Amino acid sequence: MNRRIIVHFPFKINKGRAAASQLRPQKIIAAFEELGYEIFLIEGEAADRNHQMKSIKRAIKSGVHFDFMYSESSTLPTLMTEKHHFPTHPSLDFSLFRFCKKRHIPIGLFYRDIYWCFPENNKGVIRKFMRYFYLYDLYEYNKYVSTLFVPSFEMVEHIPYSLKMPVHELYPGCEVKTPNVEKNNSKKNHVNILYVGGIGHHYNVSMILDVVKKVPQVHLTLCCRPDDWKGAKSEYEKYLGDNVSVVHKSGKELEQLYAEADLFCLYVRPDKYREFAVPFKLFETIGYGCPVLASEGTWVAKFVKQNRAGFTCEYSPKALKALLEQLNAHTEDIKLARTFVSQIRNENNWEARCKKIEDVLLNINEL
């Protein structure tokens, strides 16, 4: 008997974007296929989703069996995912949820984020208006979803709604990679730190740049988009020195950077959001077997300490400088951390994530 599942995304998957919200669906689809599932995919603009849903409903009515349905929320409210963001198809996606529930098809939904709950993200009339649509999503999930998957249990505490369904953690996954590239000899006597990501207000890197400048035995590679650097260069230029490189790479080009890195930097200022946020980059880094540098007071730091997957310290120049000097003097600690990271890679790959979804949804009646 063929194993079939419905995989639903209330938006169009953009394969050209490197954002986690676009990469994750592609990884999930590929992993389910690796597990041997025939996937009936729903994604795209509303008209496309409507056509796909009608086809699936016809198949179910004709007797085709589906093991379960897996869905993911958008970063926007479900009713506002069209390009124009107007709720022109208010019942489209949830009609499928209702249809599947009536036919006893378990539904698991990954609830991506709750940045909309925080006052600083609700400024302006439009943002305040959108809040009601986010709450409407939760209202509909409560009616139809069998199990809610979340990035971390800590996030659930901030959801402004009483959830009726069971909740399970579902971290991002990783791809196990071993880049076949040689270390750059010009950096071999340094502890090499890699930072990949934004450098705007929410990702201010001035403190770590300032500390690295004072620890010449450490080399930092700052990888960001060219436009981001253009906008921030005047702010960060004063921190640059011989032990800082600024590069603009992406995709396969990152393999060289990860191969040269001793530590990946997720050292950021702690705040309420970062107490539960689970960065996609954390697990990408684990896939490369690279230890992580994280700041205390973040969810990342908890994970790193529990898995001995790197190093953590208080978010302060003094604490960071002391840690970097210690690691430079005891590079064997970094090698040991790399060993632990390598040991947890397979249990954190995308296939393992989909196996968890499978296990939860196929045993939904036992919960």
Average pLDDT over residues 62-83: 96
Whole-number Å distance between alpha carbons of 32 and 4: 10
User: Percentage of residues in the chain with pLDDT exceeding 70?
Assistant: 95
Cα–Cα distance measured from residue 206 to residue 272, given in angstroms and rounded to the nearest whole number: 21
Task: Judge contact between 14 and 3, C-beta under 8 A.
Answer: no
| Model pLDDT for residues 210-232, shown as the tens digit of each residue | 999 999 999 999 999 999 999 99
Q: Does 116 reside within a domain?
A: yes
Confidence of residue 37 (pLDDT cuts 50, 70, 90): very high
Would 191 be classed as within a structural domain? yes
Q: Based on the fold, state whether residues 287 and 335 are members of the same structural domain.
A: yes
Q: Which helix (H) or strand (E) holds 233?
A: helix 226-236
Q: In what order do the strands lie in the sheet with 292-295?
A: 244-247, 218-223, 191-196, 263-266, 292-295, 310-313
Q: Are residues 159 and 254 in the same domain?
A: no
Domain contains 123: yes
Question: What contacts 155, CB < 8 A, 6 or more positions away?
Answer: 114, 276, 277
Q: Give the position of tokens 């963001």.
A: 85
Instruction: Report percent pLDDT > 90 for the chain.
Output: 84
Same domain for 165 and 24: yes
| Burial of 170 from C-beta contacts in 10 A (0-12 / 13-18 / 19+) | buried
Strand order in the sheet with 147-150: 38-42, 4-8, 68-72, 107-110, 147-150, 167-169
Digit-coded pLDDT (tens) for 239-256: 998 999 999 998 889 999
Helix-strand-coil split of the chain, %, nearest 5 = 50, 15, 35
Lowest mean pLDDT among 13-17, 105-109, 222-226, 356-360: 13-17
275 in the same domain as 165? no
Average pLDDT over residues 96-121: 92
pLDDT tens figures, 1-27: 579 999 999 999 988 777 778 899 999
pTM score, whole prediction: 0.92
Report which DSSP code applies to 43. Answer: -
Helix axes 46-61 and 92-102, enclosed angle (nearest 10): 20
The whole-number pLDDT of residue 200 equals: 77
Q: Are 17 and 42 in a shared domain?
A: yes
- State the DSSP string of 264-299: EEE-----TGGGT---HHHHHHHHTT--EEEETTSH
Q: What are phi and psi of 88, to 5 degrees?
A: -85, -10
Tell me, yes or no, whether 355 and 333 share the same domain.
Answer: no
Whether 66 is in a domain gets the answer: yes
185 to 35, 178, 188, 262: CA distances (angstroms):
41, 19, 5, 14
Cβ count near 262 (within 10 Å): 23
| 136 and 53, same domain (yes or no) | yes
In a domain, 179, yes or no: no
Q: How far apart (Å, rounded) are the C-alpha atoms in residues 257 and 312?
A: 21
Please report, for the domain that includes residue 228, its CATH number: 3.40.50.2000
pLDDT at 182 over 90: no
User: For residues 174 and 137, what is the distance between their CA atoms, to the nearest angstrom?
Assistant: 28
Question: Looking at the structure, do residues 274 and 360 belong to the same domain, yes or no?
Answer: no
- 194 pLDDT higher than 60: yes
Structural domain tally of the chain? Answer: 2
Q: What is the pLDDT of residue 119?
A: 73
186 pLDDT band, cuts 50/70/90, is very low
**Are 301 and 288 found together in one domain?**
yes
Q: Is residue 294 part of a domain?
A: yes
| 246 belongs to a structural domain | yes
Q: Is the dihedral of CA 213, 216, 218, 224 positive or negative?
A: positive
The label of the residue with tokens 């632990």 reads 340
Q: Are 191 and 298 a contacting pair, CB within 8 Å?
A: no
Interatomic CA distance for residues 307 and 337, integer angstroms: 9
**One domain, residues 195 and 155:** no
pLDDT at 2: 76
Q: Is 210 found in the same domain as 322?
A: yes
The range of the structural domain enclosing residue 258 comes to 185-347
Q: At what angle do helices 331-344 and 317-329 cross, to 10 degrees?
A: 90
Which pLDDT belongs to residue 204? 86
189 within a domain of the structure (yes/no): yes
pLDDT value for 256? 93
Q: Is the pLDDT of residue 127 over 90?
A: no
Where residue 79 falls among pLDDT bands split at 50, 70, 90? very high
Q: Stretch 52-77: mean pLDDT, rounded?
A: 97
Q: Is the pLDDT of residue 43 over 50?
A: yes
What is the C-alpha separation between 86 and 116, in angstroms, rounded?
18
Taking only the tens place, the pLDDT of each residue in 271-281 is 999 999 999 99
> Confidence band (pLDDT; 50, 70, 90) for 365?
low
Q: What DSSP designation does 120 have?
A: G
- pLDDT, mean over the chain: 92
> Are 72 and 213 members of one domain?
no
